[in-house]
């Protein structure tokens, strides 16, 4: 078991770190304040391959392992968790489309999405179907050579600004087996977008509801086969949970870096904060928890890369642990900054606001505990979760 990064992984890490320092960090506070969706910057990330990190090379992606993608996302999130998180969502939706679409659909959308020229949204959540995604009510009815979509989606990242929607809709009976997945152009007649939500964080990406009213798409835009939608969505979410966990790790690393600098710069009672043992111990705990979270995320990513049978459990563990621990690390970094941490001149309050939602989306951490506990109560759990 080798915990060291390879030369290629370090090259991706340094490339992402440079991009974050030059293209994200100088603008992140302004994007947050003004609610700016930085499409041009995301396209620039696409020029480096960051918009199709693990999508197939056949359709323009880099075809990287999820572990390598996690390394890139962490570096981006250290500067701007909000924009980095949208890039991860775009990667997830792009992977779902390119892995499951018919060749003509993948050939059209794949190169556009993996390059960042066009952007994608993931559409699963509904007003009445959040954690219970299997109860979604949006329908897709086959009418000749077209599917007709009716229903609504909620809390969709990028909605109204993205070019294609990966939509889960019901083509069959009740439950998960009746759900199918579709690639839906964002400008399809019959689609309307709700108001831009005013959020605590994630302000560099728009969030809106979507309504489908007799929106017609070609039957060939079905991803996989009818009834495959829930399976496709869950496979996407395994990777999505790693992605969001990684964004928490990155945000915590950015906060820890800021706290280290501040402890050397700030003086109280005639000495720097770095000389107070209570704060030294706080920093030690923060670093330890951050490293533990990072290694849990990378373990889950390696499970996903090897298609291990217990992948979903490890992805749930990583998402639960990293988003909880790393939020605490950011909160402690803010505390070290005192009153300065609470004002917008410093990045701490933005990192805190952006990271808070990570404990909710891609499955709440309460749902992660359900997934883990169910596996632990199976008869052979002690032999397999080791």
Q: Where are the domains of the chain?
A: 7-114, 120-225, 230-384
CATH class of 230-384: mainly alpha
Looking at residue 157, its pLDDT comes to 97
b/e per residue 266-282 (b: at least 16 CB within 10 A): eeeeeeebeeeeebeeb
| Total residue count of the chain as it appears in this document | 386
Residue 61 structure tokens:
């992606």
138 and 214 Cβ atoms separated by less than 8 Å: no
d(CA 78, CA 17): 9
- The β-bridge partners of 169 are 180
214 and 141 Cβ atoms separated by less than 8 Å: no
d(CA 325, CA 296): 11
Q: Report the catalytic residues.
A: 362
Question: For residue 56, how many other CB atoms are within 10 A of its CB?
Answer: 16
Map tokens 């007649």 to a residue. 189
What is the Cα 73 distance to its own chain's centre?
9
Looking at residue 385, its pLDDT comes to 64
Looking at residue 310, its pLDDT comes to 92
Q: Where are the alpha helices (DSSP H) in the chain?
A: 7-19, 28-34, 39-47, 66-79, 81-100, 103-114, 229-265, 277-305, 311-337, 348-356, 365-376, 381-384
Looking at residue 383, its pLDDT comes to 62
Q: Is 161 exposed, middle or buried (0-12, 13-18, 19+ CB in 10 A)?
A: middle
Looking at residue 135, its pLDDT comes to 86
CATH topology for 120-225 is Butyryl-CoA Dehydrogenase, subunit A; domain 2 (2.40.110)
**Global pTM exceeds 0.85:** yes
255 and 81 Cβ atoms separated by less than 8 Å: no
327 and 358 Cβ atoms separated by less than 8 Å: yes
- The DSSP string of 145-156 is TEEEEEEEEEEE
Looking at residue 128, its pLDDT comes to 84
C-alpha triplet 103, 108, 98: angle, nearest 5°: 55
- The β-bridge partners of 184 are 165
d(CA 240, CA 182): 18
Q: Which residues of the chain have pLDDT under 50?
A: none
Looking at residue 311, its pLDDT comes to 94
274 and 264 Cβ atoms separated by less than 8 Å: yes
Looking at residue 3, its pLDDT comes to 82
Q: Output the CA–CA distances (angstroms, integers) from residue 248 to 58, 116, 294, 322, 378, in the order listed.
A: 31, 23, 9, 6, 30
Which of 359, 94, 63 shows the shortest CA–CA distance to 236? 94
Q: Pairing relation of β-strands 164-170 and 179-185? A: antiparallel
Residue 331 structure tokens:
């909160």
The correct answer on CATH 1.10.540.10 for the domain covering 7-114 is yes
């Amino acid at each position: 078991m080798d915990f060291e990064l390879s030369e290629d992984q370090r090259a991706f890490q340094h490339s992402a770190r440079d991009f974050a320092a030059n293209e994200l960090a100088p603008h992140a506070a302004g994007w947050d304040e003004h609610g700016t969706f930085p499409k041009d910057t995301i396209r620039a990330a696409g020029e480096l391959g960051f918009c199709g990190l693990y999508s197939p090379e056949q359709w323009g992606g880099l075809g990287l392992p999820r572990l390598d993608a996690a390394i890139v996302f962490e570096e981006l999130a250290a500067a701007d968790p909000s924009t980095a998180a949208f890039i991860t969502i775009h990667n997830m939706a792009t992977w779902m489309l390119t892995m499951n679409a018919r060749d003509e659909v993948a050939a059209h959308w794949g190169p556009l999405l993996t390059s960042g020229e066009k952007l994608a949204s993931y559409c699963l959540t509904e007003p009445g179907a959040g954690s219970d995604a299997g109860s979604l009510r949006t329908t897709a009815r086959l009418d000749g050579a077209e599917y007709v979509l009716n229903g609504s989606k909620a809390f969709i990242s990028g909605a109204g600004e993205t070019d294609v929607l990966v939509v889960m809709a019901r083509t069959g009976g009740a439950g998960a087996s009746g759900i199918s997945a579709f690639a839906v152009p964002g400008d399809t007649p019959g689609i309307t977008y709700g108001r831009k939500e005013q959020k605590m964080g994630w302000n560099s990406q728009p969030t809106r509801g979507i309504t489908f009213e007799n929106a017609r798409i070609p039957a060939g835009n079905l991803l996989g086969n009818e009834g495959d939608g829930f399976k496709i969505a869950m496979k996407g979410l395994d990777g999505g949970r790693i992605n969001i966990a990684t964004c928490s790790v990155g945000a915590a690393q950015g906060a820890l870096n800021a706290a280290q600098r501040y402890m050397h710069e700030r003086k109280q009672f005639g000495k720097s904060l770095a000389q107070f043992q209570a704060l030294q111990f706080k920093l030690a705990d923060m670093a330890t928890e951050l490293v533990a979270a990072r290694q849990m995320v990378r373990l889950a990513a390696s499970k996903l890369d090897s298609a291990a049978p217990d992948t979903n459990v490890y992805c749930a563990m990583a998402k639960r642990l990293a988003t909880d621990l790393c939020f605490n690390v950011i909160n402690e970094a803010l505390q070290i900054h005192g009153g300065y941490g609470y004002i917008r001149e410093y990045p701490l309050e933005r990192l805190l606001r952006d990271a808070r939602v990570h404990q909710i989306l891609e499955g709440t951490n309460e749902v992660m505990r359900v997934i883990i506990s169910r596996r632990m109560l199976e008869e052979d759990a002690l032999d397999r979760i080791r």
